[in-house]
């Protein structure tokens, strides 16, 4: 891969260079050559390293800092057909003040909802600094015409979404139609643009449980980053397996290598199945070891979760008071 010269590049929403990979994305054949030319993932080595990192433990002050950081990284999520405005307002309240009894507890990163609930979430969160994320593009299946996906995205942005979580067309990806997937991500990113020239951040969901191999996860990661995604995200949370440590390791290595090659940072969001503080800390250890402290920030690493926050709060209370709160001490989401 060779980047084009600066004189031929152009910036799209959020200042992403849309021409940097023009030579790679000129055709399906060139894109296929590039993606299949990426180094293969050693499955045994990847899983062994992930398992080893998962055995690390941190104590006392470092653990307390990790719990607070993990809370700040949570995208508190409700994506059910029975969602109501009342439920979304309650979730927004919890995101702003996760532990009402402790004003030192940090706020969550975002509230993630369906597009029709964006306005409700935005109104409830006000100027708190907690973002509104909206799933779009026929989430979770991605099975819709492109014009419908783009309309879905624009509606969410117009309603005030700060972030858009889109799903790729796994059918297209798995049958090797990489350019179609690339162009769809580019189109959705352009639909994230606002009239003032800013843009909602775009998170690209792979549904790694359907991608079958770590090599496919690496290829999807590079495809999404070249198309201008601000974040790459493991899963919708609707398919198992969802987020795993080995899959996240592959994605972290991809963003590390992409930054080394292009100078651009891309965030990572594991989502689905992360339920305990112990699990969250394993991911934070992995982030620190694989990509470093630059990514230990809610701007660059998130947890997509609906139940994780309560366990983080219970562990935090234990460290603060010396005793566990009851399981019903915090609201259920």
From start to end of 103-261, where are the E strands?
Answer: 110-113, 131-135, 163-167, 201-205, 231-233
Residue 114 vs residues 25, 85, 109, 140: alpha-carbon distances, Å:
32, 11, 17, 11
The reply to whether 165 belongs to the active site is: yes
Q: Is 318 a catalytic residue?
A: no
Residue pair 20/221 in contact (Cβ under 8 Å)? The answer is no
Name the DSSP class of 208: G
What are the residues facing 166 on neighbouring strands?
204
Q: Could you give the C-alpha distances from 310 to 120, 242, 331, in angstroms and in order?
A: 23, 20, 8
Backbone region of residue 271 per phi and psi (left: phi > 0; alpha: psi in -120 to 50; beta: other values): beta
Catalytic residue among 233, 279, 282, 311: 233
Residue of 99, 162, 165, 311 marked catalytic: 165
Q: What CA–CA distance (Å, rounded) separates 204 from 268?
A: 10
**Selection from 164, 171, 153, 156 nearest residue 207 by Cα:** 171
Tell me which residue has tokens 């989430």: 139
149 catalytically annotated: no
The residue annotated as part of the active site, out of 94, 122, 203, 269, is 269
Judge residue 221's burial from the number of C-beta atoms within 10 Å of its C-beta, 0-12 exposed, 13-18 middle, 19 or more buried.
Answer: buried
Consecutive H or E run containing 171: helix 170-174
175 phi, psi to nearest 5 deg: -100, 10
> What is the per-residue burial (b if ≥16 Cβ within 10 Å, else e) of 21-33?
bbebbeeeebbee
Catalytic residue annotation: 165, 233, 269
């Amino acid at each position: 891969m060779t980047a084009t010269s600066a004189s031929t590049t152009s910036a799209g929403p959020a200042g992403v260079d849309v021409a940097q990979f023009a030579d790679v994305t000129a055709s399906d054949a060139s894109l296929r050559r590039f993606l299949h030319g990426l180094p293969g993932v050693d499955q045994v080595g990847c899983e062994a390293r992930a398992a080893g990192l998962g055995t690390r433990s941190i104590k006392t002050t470092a653990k307390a800092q990790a719990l607070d950081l993990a809370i700040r990284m949570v995208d508190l999520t409700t994506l059910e057909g029975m969602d109501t405005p009342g439920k979304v307002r309650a979730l927004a309240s919890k995101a702003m003040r996760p532990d009402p009894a402790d004003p030192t507890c940090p706020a969550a990163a975002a509230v993630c909802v369906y597009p029709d609930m964006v306005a409700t979430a935005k109104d409830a969160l006000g100027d708190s600094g907690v973002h509104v994320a909206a799933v779009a593009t026929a989430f979770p299946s991605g099975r819709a015409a492109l014009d419908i996906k783009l309309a879905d995205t624009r509606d969410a942005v117009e309603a005030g979404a700060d972030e858009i979580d889109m799903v790729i067309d796994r059918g297209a990806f798995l049958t090797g139609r990489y350019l179609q997937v690339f162009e769809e991500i580019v189109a959705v990113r352009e639909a994230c643009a606002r009239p003032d020239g800013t843009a909602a951040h775009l998170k690209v969901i792979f549904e790694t449980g359907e991608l079958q191999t770590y090599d496919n996860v690496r290829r999807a990661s590079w495809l999404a980053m070249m198309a201008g995604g601000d974040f790459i995200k493991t899963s919708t949370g609707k398919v198992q397996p969802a987020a795993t440590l080995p899959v996240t390791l592959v994605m972290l290595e991809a963003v590390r290598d992409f930054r080394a090659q292009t100078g651009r940072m891309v965030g990572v969001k594991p989502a689905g199945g992360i339920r305990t503080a112990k699990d969250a800390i394993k991911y934070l250890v992995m982030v620190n070891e694989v990509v470093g402290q630059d990514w230990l920030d809610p701007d660059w690493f998130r947890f997509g979760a609906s139940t994780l926050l309560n366990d983080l709060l219970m562990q935090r209370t234990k460290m603060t008071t010396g005793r566990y709160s009851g399981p019903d001490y915090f609201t259920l989401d």
